Chains A and B, each alone.
Chain A
Amino acid sequence: MSKQKTILSTIALSWKNAAGSWQIWSLLLLVNFIFAKLISAPIANIIDSASLNRVIPANVSLTYIYDLIQNDQHLVSQIMSTLPIILGVYLLWTVFSTAGIVNSVFYKDFKLSTFLSGGLKFFFRFLRLTIYMLILLGFIGFILYKVLTFGEINIFQIDSEDFLISRAVWLSICFAVIYTFLKLWNDWLKITIARLNPKFFFRQSIGAISQILNIKTIVVFLINILIALAMILLFRTIGQIIPIVAILITQVIILARLWYKIANLSSLSMLNSALDRAEES
């Protein structure tokens, strides 16, 4: 009973923290909006230049998109070449902002100054962690791909595609489970880095593996995901029922995802600190 209570109160407090950290999520939302604008604006320019003085059709169709691209191929290739740069910079911002959130939830101080100082303090360590995470994901993806194509699959040699499909389904489930644990491990390690402030974190990353294999941590992590999914579903449904401007609904859904991010790190921070207290006692 008390364990349940602890789980529920951890979650409740985390979401309260998330909602209360309005300076952080406002900034995150704003930056997300600006970066999306950086990508969508040139595309809008193509539409503008193609449809300047044109009567354009009411529905977006393959015909319309194709004619649009034909109209301004130069700008299309420009967008394709700048897109990786924008995505790269956004990735760096995400590393910075995650470091800021971790700092804020660890000190339970949701002022912008704490967020920014945390971003600066942990940026390079989190960047390293991100690179490790991407390498790990790539490696796991490679292994799963090898398993998927194991046995030199030649469509002329197989009896039916059934086994390939079921293999793909099982591997997708495997990937989802592995990714979930990897993500939990990654988030937990971030909190640990904030708590112990180590220069290198090899020992902590090994320790995190055993620490996350804890029913309470897993339950809290999963419930937070469920809450986020429920919120997104709710907002989507509201958006479909009530004729609200689509862009507003998008902002609310993005906001729900940002709240989840803060709430999740906040929950893990509380659990991580509790572990710390338990170790001390």
Chain B
Amino acid sequence: MTIWLLTVVPVVTFGQIERLNDEYRIQVSLDTATHTLTAKTTLTWTNPDDKPVDHMLFHMYYNAFKNTNSTFFSENEFPESLRPPQDDGCHWSYTDITDIKDNNGNDLTTMISYIQPDDTNILDQSVLRLDLITAVNPGESITLSFDWNAAIPNIMPRTGYNKEYYFFAQWFPKLGVYETAGMRYAEEGSWNCHQYHANGEYYSDFANYNVSMTVPNSYVVASSGWLQAKHTFDSQMTTWTFTCDNIIDFTWATSPHFTVQKDKFKDTDILFYTYPYKEDIASRYFTAIKYCMHYLDEKLGDYPYPTLSIVDPPIHGLFTGGMEYPTLVTSISFNFFPQGFRTPETLVMHEFIHQYFMQMVATHEVEEAWMDEGFTTYWEGRILDDFLGESCSMVDFAGFNIGTKEYNRFEFLNSEYNTSAPITDKSYEFESSAYGPISYNKTALWLQTLERMIGVELMDEIWKTYFQRWKYKHPCRQDFIDVVNELVQLKCQKFPDGMDWYFDQVIYGTDLCDYAITNISNDVITTQAGFIDGDIDCLNSIETDSIKSTITIRKIENITVPQQLKVYFKNGNILTEELFATNEYTEVSYTTDSEITKAIIDPDTLIYIDRNLLNNSYTTEKLSQKTNNTMTSWLQGRFQNALEFLSLLI
């Protein structure tokens, strides 16, 4: 038996006040007939500020699905075809606190109001403000006890029920994050609590949870944390009690059809929940997740929790798939999913990496989505390419291969919105189609470029330092930038001033990067002609053995990065030099006794963010002819086959 002793008490301090985890005790009962929850919560919060706090803010995210007036629905651009049927009964939801008292016995029920910190939609009720009768003094705690009930939404994105499948995310009144002065961007202590938006995810504080769910006997519960007790108290209902410390959210799912399969990585139990018809996919998940856990274990640090639950929902619960929650992730697969399509592996790895970036290193998913989604996409590319091969880690089917990193590059560069906003925008400020390419793919792409520029060893050290320094805390972008600069200045001679010049362009800017070599000229140098130095003899120009060769480099897009230039001479000499081309056109000249035959800018493809790698090279000889012939033959064969196939119809 393993006894788990997590570091429950955080060591973070802002000023003199120690920041303590919130403490939640929730008893919730599920009524599957009415699709409602009835619950009681006891919440203890400690004021980390050096001034009294007289109110508290709560996420009431089920109210986002309360009616069509919510901010979520006013922003929602979900395709009509994917909307659940709304015509046979009520599919809306709500959360309602019916009775709330503080530890002094004050009834605070009438002190509740709804506020809209992000917009002017006064009808939105996704953020609740609770005014306190007695302010909480610095370092002191308040314990609130409240009864609440909720109607569960019918298959809304990421949460709700459908048929006998229930997935509970953002399901309970959850405290916002009180940010003290100096924490992230806070100039003075205040609550950070956003409304529920159509685009974007969540932000909450570290807490210790003890949650008891009472569900019908036949139902199996998958949950954040680990099972402490299971008590069947009558012929109808069973209470499952889960506990978990030092996590930023708590999620659970239940269904009478769940089957559970188990595996183990070190001391962590991996539990896989799905419907019986999809059980066979378990081995794919277990293999992928163990590889991922091992990889991150080495590169960043231990996964410290004793369980990891993977939920693969049935098709009617598809909206809840592909999400990350503390110690519980969801994926998506379909029966008979071909092995060559790596979607299950990609999803489960991606969601697991989130355990590090946004669960343990708890960045703000709404205000800085790139710091969890982009970081995760970067790691997903690294791990999947390492696991399955660089050229086929995403698709390896019928001779058709795509790698994960190159797919990320394609997703960003191919998006028509790729320059529409800097990655620093809040998630709900992005145009809906820009959010993914910019937050996920652009970040991954510039991180890959950074890794190649400074070297993978230093990059690994940066990641490890960042993770170890900021785990169980809430860093912001400057905290990441600071770690990069600190280590780059210390260990990378190439960039003695750090990487701010790069971050200014890729984090705060919207420009793209494209360098091209547009020409190579080789001119024989001739001697001077005419009357030289007062000589009365007229000299004719004659050719010398020297050749002046000029390489023309064009900076097509605005991002400026230092590059290597590799120059090949006809006599076999090869020259490599550093180049920092800041103007639109840059000419590099050499005077030697041999012609230049070939030049390549960025020969090792360090600048992966470059939008066209093909124009990075130039050759005065047509070296590519052989490859061209092979490709033309390949195409010819494919089209001959296709045409002959077409004739079968006749």
A37 adjacent to B618 (CB under 8 Å): no
Q: Is B636 a contact of A36 with CB atoms below 8 Å?
A: yes
- A59 near B414 with CB under 8 A, answer no
A137 and B638 CA atoms in complex are apart in Å by 25
A278: Cβ under 8 A from any B Cβ: no
- A48, B628: Cβ atoms under 8 Å? yes
Closest to B165 in A: A159
Across the two chains, which residue of chain A brings its CB closest to B639?
Answer: A36
Given contacts A159-B163, A165-B336, contact A66 B635 (CB under 8 A): no
Q: Chain A contacts of B413 at CB under 8 A? A: 66, 70
Partner among B318, B401, B648 whose Cβ is within 8 Å of the Cβ of A155: B318
B632 and A40 contact, CB distance less than 8 A: yes
- Please determine whether B612 and A67 come into contact, CB atoms closer than 8 angstroms: yes
State whether B314 touches A159 (Cβ < 8 A): yes
Query: From residue 12 to 37 of chain A, which have CB atoms closer than 8 A to chain B?
Result: 32-33, 35-37
> Which of A200-208, A216-224, A249-257 is found at the contact surface with chain B?
A249-257
Q: Of B163, B277, B619, B648, which contacts A53 at CB under 8 A?
A: B619
Q: In the assembly, what is the distance between CA of A60 and CA of B619, in Å?
A: 20
Q: Is B637 an interface residue (CB 8 A)?
A: yes
CB <8 Å contact, A54 and B619: yes
Partner of B636, one of A37, A160, A162: A37
Please name the residue on chain B nearest to A92 by beta carbon.
B650
Question: How far apart are A136's CB and chain B's nearest CB, in angstroms?
Answer: 11
**Separation of A61 and B649 alpha carbons in the complex (Å):** 32
C-alpha gap A59/B410 in the complex (Å): 17
Chain B residues near A33: list those with CB within 8 A.
Answer: 636, 640
Q: Mark B604-623, 1 if CB is under 8 A from A, else 0.
A: 00000001111101111011
Please name all residues of chain A whose beta carbon is closer than 8 Å to the beta carbon of B84 when the two chains form the complex: 156
Q: A32-B640, A71-B614, A165-B335 are in contact. Are A54 and B624 (CB under 8 A)?
A: yes
User: In the complex, what distance in Å separates the CA atom of A94 from the CA atom of B640?
Assistant: 13
What residues of chain A lie closer than 8 Å to B641, measured between beta carbons? 250, 253-254
Q: Which residues between 303 and 359 of chain B lie within 8 Å of chain A, taking CB atoms?
A: 314-316, 318, 334-336
Q: Interface residue count for A (Cβ, 8 Å)?
A: 63
Whether B612 lies near A70 (C-beta < 8 A) is yes
Note all chain A residues with C-beta closer than 8 A to B624: 51-52, 54-56
Q: Mark A48-76, 1 if CB is under 8 A from B, else 0.
A: 10111111101111111011101100000
Per the bound structure, the CA–CA distance linking A63 and B278 in Å amounts to 34
Residues in B with CB closer than 8 Å to A281 are none
A158 at the interface (CB under 8 A from B): yes
Instruction: Tell me, in angstroms, the Cα distance from A44 to B617 when the chains sit together.
Output: 19
Cβ of B15 under 8 Å from chain A: no
| Whole-angstrom distance between the Cβ of B281 and the nearest chain A Cβ | 12
Nearest to B627 among chain A residues (CB) is A56
B403 at the interface (CB under 8 A from A): yes
In the complex with contacts A44-B628, A55-B598, A161-B335, A91-B619 CB distance below 8 A: no
Whether the Cβ atoms of A246 and B612 lie closer than 8 Å is: no
Inter-chain CA distance A16–B229, complex, in Å, is 79
B600–A95 contact, CB under 8 A? no
User: Quick check: A246 and B637 within 8 Å, CB to CB?
Assistant: yes
Neighbour of B618 across the interface among A32, A41, A53, CB < 8 A: A53
Bound Cα distance from A47 to B633, whole angstroms: 12
CB distance from A18 to the nearest CB of B (A): 15
Size category, B interface: 35 or more
Most buried by A among B391, B631, B640: B640
| Residues of B386-413 contacting chain A, CB below 8 A | 391, 401-403, 406-407, 409-410, 413
- Chain B nearest CB from A5 CB (Å) reads 30
B432 to chain A, nearest CB (A): 21
Q: Would you call B646 and A87 a contact (CB within 8 A)?
A: yes
Q: Does A210 contact B (CB under 8 A)?
A: no
Q: How many A-B residue pairs have CB under 8 A?
A: 161
A215 at the interface (CB under 8 A from B): no
Q: Is B16 interfacial (CB 8 A cutoff)? A: no
Tell me the complex Cα distance, A171–B639, Å: 28
| Given contacts A71-B612, A154-B85, A156-B155, A52 and B622 within 8 Å (CB-CB) | yes
The answer to whether A156 and B639 have CB atoms under 8 Å apart is: no
Q: Which residues of A contact B620 (CB under 8 A)?
A: 53
| A39 in contact (CB, < 8 A) | yes
Contacts of B631 in A (CB 8 A): 44, 47, 60
Task: Given A67-B613, A159-B316, A160-B277, answer yes or no on A133-B649 (Cβ-Cβ < 8 Å).
Answer: yes
Report the nearest B residue to A127, measured CB to CB.
B650
CB distance from B602 to the nearest CB of A (A): 12
Q: Beta-carbon contacts of A114-131 to B below 8 Å, as 1s and 0s? A: 000000000000100010
- Chain A residues, CB < 8 A from B628: 44, 47-48, 51, 56
Least Cβ distance of A12 to chain B in Å? 23
**Does A162 contact B598, Cβ atoms closer than 8 Å?**
no
Does B644 sit within 8 A of A, measured CB to CB? Answer: yes
Contacting residues, chain A, for B563 (C-beta < 8 A): none
Residues of B within 8 A of A234 (CB): none
How far, in Å, is B448 (CB) from chain A's closest CB?
12
Please determine whether A157 and B316 come into contact, CB atoms closer than 8 angstroms: yes
Partner of B315, one of A51, A64, A155: A155
Identify which of B277, B643, B648 contacts A90 (C-beta below 8 A): B643
Question: Are B314 and A63 in contact (CB-based, < 8 A)?
Answer: no
Q: Which residues on the B side are within 8 Å of A95 (C-beta)?
A: 650
Closest A residue to B518 using CB positions: A53
Nearest CB in chain A: distance from B595 CB, A: 14
Q: Is B246 an interface residue (CB 8 A)?
A: no
**Chain A CB within 8 A of B4 CB:** no
Choice from A66, A68, A137, A253 contacting B649 with Cβ under 8 Å: A137
Taking the complex as formed, is B647 at the interface, i.e. its CB lies under 8 A from any CB of chain A? yes
**Does A192 belong to the interface (CB within 8 Å)?**
no
Q: Is B615 a contact of A71 with CB atoms below 8 Å?
A: yes
List residues of chain A with CB within 8 A of the CB of B414.
66
Q: Are B410 and A63 in contact (CB under 8 A)?
A: yes
From A41, A67, A247, A257, contact of B614 by CB (8 A): A67
Q: Is A245 an interface residue (CB 8 A)?
A: yes
How far apart are B578's CB and chain A's nearest CB, in angstroms? 20
Of chain A, the residue at the smallest CB distance from B614 is A67
A168 and chain B: residue at smallest CB distance: B336
A10 within 8 A of B: no
Partner of A247, one of B406, B623, B636: B636
Known contacts A53-B622, A63-B410, A160-B278, then 4 further A-B pairs from the complex at CB < 8 Å, ordered by chain A residue: A54-B619, A66-B413, A98-B647, A155-B315
Q: Which 6 A-B pairs have the closest CB atoms?
A: A250-B637, A36-B639, A55-B617, A40-B635, A36-B640, A94-B647
27 inter-chain pairs at a CB distance below 8 angstroms, sorted by A residue, are A32-B640, A36-B643, A39-B639, A40-B632, A40-B635, A44-B635, A47-B631, A50-B614, A51-B614, A52-B622, A53-B618, A53-B620, A54-B617, A55-B619, A59-B391, A66-B413, A70-B612, A90-B647, A94-B650, A98-B650, A156-B84, A156-B85, A158-B315, A160-B277, A160-B335, A162-B277, A261-B647
